[in-house]
Amino acid sequence: MPAVSKGDGMRGLAVFISDIRNCKSKEAEIKRINKELANIRSKFKGDKALDGYSKKKYVCKLLFIFLLGHDIDFGHMEAVNLLSSNKYTEKQIGYLFISVLVNSNSELIRLINNAIKNDLSSRNPTFMCLALHCIANVGSREMAEAFASEIPRILVAGDTMDSVKQSAALCLLRLYKTSPDLVLMGEWTSRVVHLLNDQHMGVVTAAISLITCLSQKNPDEFKTCVSLAVSRLSRIVSSASTDLQDYTYYFVPAPWLSCKLLRLLQCYPPPEDGAVKGRLVECLETILNKAQEPPKSKKVQHSNAKNAILFEAISLIIHYDSEPNLLVRACNQLGQFLQHRETNLRYLALESMCTLASSEFSHEAVKTHIETVINALKTERDVSVRQRAADLLYAMCDRSNAKQIVAEMLSYLETADYSIREEMVLKVAILAEKYAVDYSWYVDTILNLIRIAGDYVSEEVWYRVIQIVINRDDVQGYAAKTVFEALQAPACHENMVKVGGYILGEFGNLIAGDPRSSPLVQFNLLHSKFHLCSVPTRALLLSAYIKFINLFPETKATIQEVLRCDSQIRNSDVELQQRAVEYLKLSSIASTDVLATVLEEMPPFPERESSILAKLKKKKGPGAVSVTELDDSKREGGELNGGGDRGPDTASTPSPSADLLGIRSAAPVGTAQTNAGSLLVDVFSESGPAAPSAAVNDDGFLRFVCKNNGVLFENQLLQIGIKSEYRQNLGRMYLFYGNKTSVQFASFSTTVSCPGEMQSHILSDKPVEPLVEGGAQIQQVLNIECLTDFSDAPLLNIKFRYGGALQNLTLKLPVTINKFFQPTEMSSNDFFQRWKQLSQPQQEAQKIFKANHSMDTEVLKAKLLGLGTALLDNIDPNPENYVCAGVIQTKSQQIGCLLRLEPNAQAQVEETHTHTVTAKCVRSHCL
Amino acid sequence: MRFLLLFSRQGKLRLQKWFTSMSDREKKKIIRDMTTMVLARQARSCNFLQWKDLKIIYKRYASLYFCLAVESQENELLALEIIHRYVELLDKYFGNVCELDIIFNFEKAYFILDEFLMGGEIQETSKQIVNRSIEASDIPRYLKLAFTINNC
């Protein structure tokens, strides 16, 4: 047997362990274990009662087997029996077994709790400590229920031994962390605070952990701890290195307690009492001074303990952020550590400086270390240290040094470790955007980023560069020129092709004057990359091609040729095939005007939080974002375009509702009338005065003008269905959100807003559930009241997290004024009498538009009925015409509305007249 | 503190202490992650690692790696000294502690740890006091030893 078994050695156990160690193979080990399990089982089942020692030995063997990674399904009862033994070592093994293999077997928990109860009331301090340890180790709800009220009593009782107090404090802390509701505050809490004054350093050390946790949750109740902590700290800091006897660790007085006191103070703002604050500042200065003294020992433990206190003090100084003098001293101290020969100290100095960089008092002082930090990024051998250096560079970056830092980070990226590349890319992208003075620098930086680390450039990054180029017309020409040049490289990254395709598709015309980048050259360049790209990129390129046809009519033939070839028009990928077919058709049948409208330049994106920043925050966790970034986060927002496959070009792609779009190209007619003062307010036209922002998805919206139920929106992730009913000026809408994935949506939230003045009043019953399980559907009810007439539909904003990515989606809710129509029947005479009465210019509107579909009578009738009006027969002398009447019910008034639709089958033109009693009215539409 | 793991250079786990409740699957995953991560570190690297939202502090003593996970606001240097103090306590008890001591007396290694830490917090930093309470529980051991040898 190789090793001595110390203590009350169990020889059988040692033999077994050494057998296991001698096993040559996994199989042999399993065989030996099974043999032992059989042996133990037979002993436990045997007739002969086992003595305590044997029981302990076998239980210990089972424990060993379990810790090797094997399942144990018996022996729990024997372990519980050991708990009631009077021999300490047997009890100890029993408790160890229970702690490690706790089982929610209710019968056993009852027995275990019984044994614990006995030990707690035994007045034997070692037994009490064992029991408390067991509770703390298991920390289950059942135990909290049984003992949460008992332990505070033990903790503050006058006759409790110090060692038991220590265990009780930490045991209570564990229970408070797992079941805070069961630990009731009471008279004991004030007495716990006074444990900070206890003579026994061990008791203070244990109690302060409990006090810190409690003060975080109930700061007011515990605020007396601040002055107590300051005086305790001051006594320790000013004590000689030997005063505290065994609590001095390598010549450092009570390092653990000091750090815990400093951490407790970080739960509170600076003390208000001048004397207390003065004393504390003195302590902090002493700690900073001590760092300059020669070490009392060469041992690393000495310097570690001393510096641990120093770093904790610096954290407190940063937390207060109110003493410029201390902040600058802290920064200088960390500056020294940046060049220390101990890697650990360099790491911690970089980490700590990151938080210091966000304080206005020390930001400048941190910046003076830029060269050292850049050097660390280049020369540190350890990747975790380099990572910290990159973090610090990011934190200390501002307008004055952005170009230098971004350049250094870019050059580091070329050799950076794979594990940190993605984060580096995000950081470079954010800094480049945040501190861009001229946007050509920004474009250069991002394109460099794609060139150097294309694989790590996430969608958010290239979406963002496109957003910015689209929103800033001063950079569009430069961007087009630069991507064009970048695409010349024989092997360029696919992300470059995406950006290139998008930007040339939008702004290729800006560089087309140069014969070296003529339209055809641009197209050939893009198309030379086509075959090497993935499906989504190809889809994007196809959209760029159709945009080219619009920008450069001379490329039409070439591009149609490409679209027409089998590899496009018969592509096995549905998306590609559909795009090829639709674009080909569009380019051949639509007039130049229609093309120009459909393929118009993208409108500016609404300003919102950078999606990249959101991604970085997500990556680093909420706590890791430095304060400088938080300034930006007040602009709420999320990822671009909800992450759909089609990316940012959805708007230029004929969508399933495109057949309804014909009317939009005729919109100038409507606009002219608006200008003419007829106040025909076009609910649907994007050219109206309040054109909806590009981010609002209103594909589904038009379909709901004439119907109340159906699917409003659908993408790969989410389907939104609607059921609605209206009566007079009231309506109720049921929204059904269906999760189409198998993954849960987290933080699901919806908000409804009414643009412009409050014209329709929307009350939501209650917020939706924040979690939508995969495949599940949740429902939301909206109550709607129409206050007065309105033209803008309410907006529904939906946010949720899917696989960590924030999805943000805004839809127009199909609440249109016609929903509040009450149909009205009337005779032909009445109709024409009223029609004539309503002939003031602001009371009538007329519109002539081209029909998109064949004018089928039944379809037309259905649509007019869907509009909510009554369809009146035998009124108009011309039987081809349709005549409708209705009253729009709002809270403030009732608005009568008459409508006549005059189809002209030959010209495929229709004319509508509407006459209403008030100025505004619905436009009839999309027939 | 969240957990403490002791493993050999070959990645064999020697001691595991969990300060919060976790399922066996999570534990196995963490053990795997920690051993691969820590064993892959080069010599003279720093002793700290970022892992998810935790700080990992590790140190090698002879053939054993001690690996401690703490919450992000905790002090790395002190965590390093917690490991060191535990090694000192083991050393004091076993006398020149080696990996084999911990293998053959694993239960003692757990008991010593329990006297020092509790519920993920430091219970007692004084070496003397911790040792005294461990020794106190060991008093009958010589009698037991004689008894054991006679019986086996």
* Residue A747, SS3 per DSSP: strand
Count CA within 13 A, CB hemisphere, residue B148: 22
Report whether A43 belongs to an annotated binding site. Answer: yes
Closest residue in B to A256 (Cα–Cα): B78
Confidence bin at A210 (pLDDT 50/70/90):
very high
Nearby residues of A849 by Cβ (< 8 Å), 6 or more positions away? A663, A666, A669, A909, A910
Decide if pLDDT at A631 tops 90: no
Closest residue in B to A259 (Cα–Cα): B75
Per residue in A409-453, pLDDT tens? 998 888 887 878 888 888 998 898 888 878 889 889 988 888 888
Q: What is the mean pLDDT of residues B95-116?
A: 89
Cα torsion for A344, A346, A348, A354, to the nearest 10°?
-160
Test A202 with B124 for CB contact under 8 angstroms.
yes
Test B128 with A12 for CB contact under 8 angstroms.
no
Q: What is the mean pLDDT of residues B49-72?
A: 92
Burial of A165-190, coded b for 16+ CB within 10 Å and e otherwise, reads: bbbbbbbbbbbbebbeebbeeeebbe
- Bridge partners for A629 per DSSP: none
Residue A440 belongs to some domain of the structure: yes
For the ranges A26-30, A373-377, A645-649, the lowest mean pLDDT is seen at A645-649
pLDDT score, position B142: 40
Q: What is the mean pLDDT of residues A240-247?
A: 75
Residue A93 belongs to some domain of the structure: no
pLDDT over 70, % of chain A: 84
Q: What fold characterizes domain B3-150?
A: Beta-Lactamase (3.30.450)
Q: What is the mean pLDDT of residues A472-497?
A: 90
Per residue in A98-149, pLDDT tens? 888 875 556 788 888 889 999 988 888 888 999 999 998 888 888 888 898 8
Q: What is the mean pLDDT of residues A617-638?
A: 42
Clarify whether residues A754 and A866 are in a common domain. no
Test B21 with A139 for CB contact under 8 angstroms.
yes
Decide if pLDDT at A646 tops 80: no
The residue of B1, B58, B107 whose CB has the most chain A CBs within 10 angstroms, and thus the best one to mutate to test that interface, is B107
CATH no. for residue A917?
3.30.310.10
Q: What is the mean pLDDT of residues A370-388?
A: 89
Confidence bin at A714 (pLDDT 50/70/90):
confident
Clarify whether residues A468 and A581 are in a common domain. yes
For the ranges A247-256, A594-603, A681-690, A875-884, the lowest mean pLDDT is seen at A681-690
Decide if pLDDT at A89 tops 80: yes
pLDDT score, position A907: 62
Confidence bin at A221 (pLDDT 50/70/90):
confident
Q: What is the mean pLDDT of residues A226-240?
A: 90
How far is residue A289's CA from residue A323's CA, in Å, rounded to a whole number?
16
Of A563, A580, A599, the position where a domain reaches its end is A599
Residue A681 belongs to some domain of the structure: no
pLDDT score, position A911: 58
Is residue A447 a contact partner of residue A483, using CB atoms and an 8 Å limit? yes
Test A9 with B93 for CB contact under 8 angstroms.
no
Of the candidates A246, A376, A237, the one whose C-alpha atom is nearest the C-alpha of residue A293 is A237
pLDDT over 90, % of chain A: 22
Test A2 with B93 for CB contact under 8 angstroms.
no
Clarify whether residues A451 and A544 are in a common domain. yes
Mean pLDDT score of chain A: 80
Clarify whether residues A763 and A774 are in a common domain. yes
Q: What is the mean pLDDT of residues B60-86?
A: 93
CB contacts < 8 A, A to B, total: 190
Test A178 with B84 for CB contact under 8 angstroms.
no
Clarify whether residues A871 and A859 are in a common domain. yes
* Residue A306, SS3 per DSSP: helix
Q: Which pTM does this prediction carry?
A: 0.66
Decide if pLDDT at A918 tops 80: no
Nearby residues of A143 by Cβ (< 8 Å), 6 or more positions away? A109, A113, A116, A135, A175
pLDDT score, position A671: 31
- Domain limits, chain B: 3-150
Q: What is the mean pLDDT of residues A477-500?
A: 91
Decide if pLDDT at A87 tops 50: yes
Report whether A60 belongs to an annotated binding site. Answer: yes
pLDDT score, position A670: 30
**Which of A198-202, A625-629, A739-743 ranks highest by mean pLDDT?**
A198-202
Decide if pLDDT at A689 tops 60: no
More confident residue, B118 or A773: B118
Q: For CA atoms A107, A111, A116, A121, give the dihedral sign.
A: positive
Report whether A53 belongs to an annotated binding site. Answer: yes
| Domain ranges, residue A281 | 185-292+303-320
For the ranges A750-754, A764-768, B139-143, the lowest mean pLDDT is seen at B139-143
Q: Which residues of B touch A387 (CB under 8 A)?
A: 50
Closest residue in A to B146 (Cα–Cα): A8
pLDDT score, position A921: 40
Is residue B68 a contact partner of residue B57, using CB atoms and an 8 Å limit? yes
Clarify whether residues A546 and A445 are in a common domain. yes
Residue A458 belongs to some domain of the structure: yes
Decide if pLDDT at A480 tops 90: yes
Could you give the C-alpha distances from A357 to A352, A383, A877, in angstroms and in order? Answer: 9, 22, 81
Of the candidates A413, A507, A430, the one whose C-alpha atom is nearest the C-alpha of residue A464 is A430
Q: Apex CA A121: angle with CA A120 and CA A126, to 5°?
A: 50
pLDDT over 70, % of chain B: 89
Clarify whether residues A780 and A825 are in a common domain. no
pLDDT score, position A1: 40
A71 interface with B at CB cutoff 8 Å: no
pLDDT score, position A454: 81
Clarify whether residues A553 and A446 are in a common domain. yes
Decide if pLDDT at A658 tops 80: no
For the ranges A362-371, A598-607, B78-87, the lowest mean pLDDT is seen at A598-607
Residues 720-739 (A) with a CB less than 8 A from some CB of B = none
Clarify whether residues A917 and A847 are in a common domain. yes
Of A570, A599, A628, the position where a domain reaches its end is A599
Per residue in A289-336, pLDDT tens? 998 989 888 999 999 999 999 999 999 999 988 888 999 899 999 999
How far A306 CA lies from chain B's nearest CA (Å)?
Answer: 9
Q: What is the mean pLDDT of residues A379-404?
A: 90
Residue A556 belongs to some domain of the structure: yes
The residue of B18, B60, B104 whose CB has the most chain A CBs within 10 angstroms, and thus the best one to mutate to test that interface, is B104
Decide if pLDDT at A206 tops 50: yes
Per residue in B11-33, pLDDT tens? 999 999 999 888 888 999 999 99
Confidence bin at A742 (pLDDT 50/70/90):
confident
Decide if pLDDT at A667 tops 60: no
pLDDT score, position A241: 64
Of A815, A831, A855, the position where a domain reaches its end is A815
Test A249 with B85 for CB contact under 8 angstroms.
yes
Closest residue in A to B44 (Cα–Cα): A343
Test B125 with A257 for CB contact under 8 angstroms.
yes
Nearby residues of A371 by Cβ (< 8 Å), 6 or more positions away? none
Is residue B9 a contact partner of residue B65, using CB atoms and an 8 Å limit? yes
Report whether A249 belongs to an annotated binding site. Answer: no
Residue A379 belongs to some domain of the structure: no
What Rg, from alpha-carbon coordinates, does chain B have? 16
A247 interface with B at CB cutoff 8 Å: yes
More confident residue, A729 or B34: B34
Q: Which residues of A touch B73 (CB under 8 A)?
A: 263
Report whether A59 belongs to an annotated binding site. Answer: yes
Confidence bin at A269 (pLDDT 50/70/90):
very high
Per residue in A587-607, pLDDT tens? 888 888 888 888 888 888 877
Test A11 with B148 for CB contact under 8 angstroms.
yes
Clarify whether residues A455 and A590 are in a common domain. yes
Report whether A277 belongs to an annotated binding site. Answer: no
Q: Which of B46, B108, B121 sits opposite A384 (nearest CB)?
A: B46
For the ranges A73-77, A151-155, B67-71, B130-134, the lowest mean pLDDT is seen at B130-134
Domain count, chain A: 4
pLDDT score, position A299: 92
Test B84 with A301 for CB contact under 8 angstroms.
yes
Which tokens belong to B70?
């703490």
Q: Which residues of A touch B72 (CB under 8 A)?
A: 623
Clarify whether residues A234 and A312 are in a common domain. yes
Residue A859 belongs to some domain of the structure: yes
Report whether A331 belongs to an annotated binding site. Answer: no
What ipTM goes with this model? 0.89
Q: Which residues of A touch B58 (CB under 8 A)?
A: none
How far is residue A536's CA from residue A559's CA, in Å, rounded to a whole number?
19
Clarify whether residues A468 and A583 are in a common domain. yes
Decide if pLDDT at A828 tops 90: no
**Which of A48-52, A470-474, A666-670, A751-755 ranks highest by mean pLDDT?**
A470-474
Q: Which of A137, A249, A384 sits opposite B50 (nearest CB)?
A: A384
Confidence bin at A914 (pLDDT 50/70/90):
low
A419 interface with B at CB cutoff 8 Å: no
Residues 128-167 (A) with a CB less than 8 A from some CB of B = 129, 132-133, 136-140, 163, 166-167
Q: How do beta strands B3-8 and A909-916 pair?
A: unpaired
Report whether A847 belongs to an annotated binding site. Answer: no
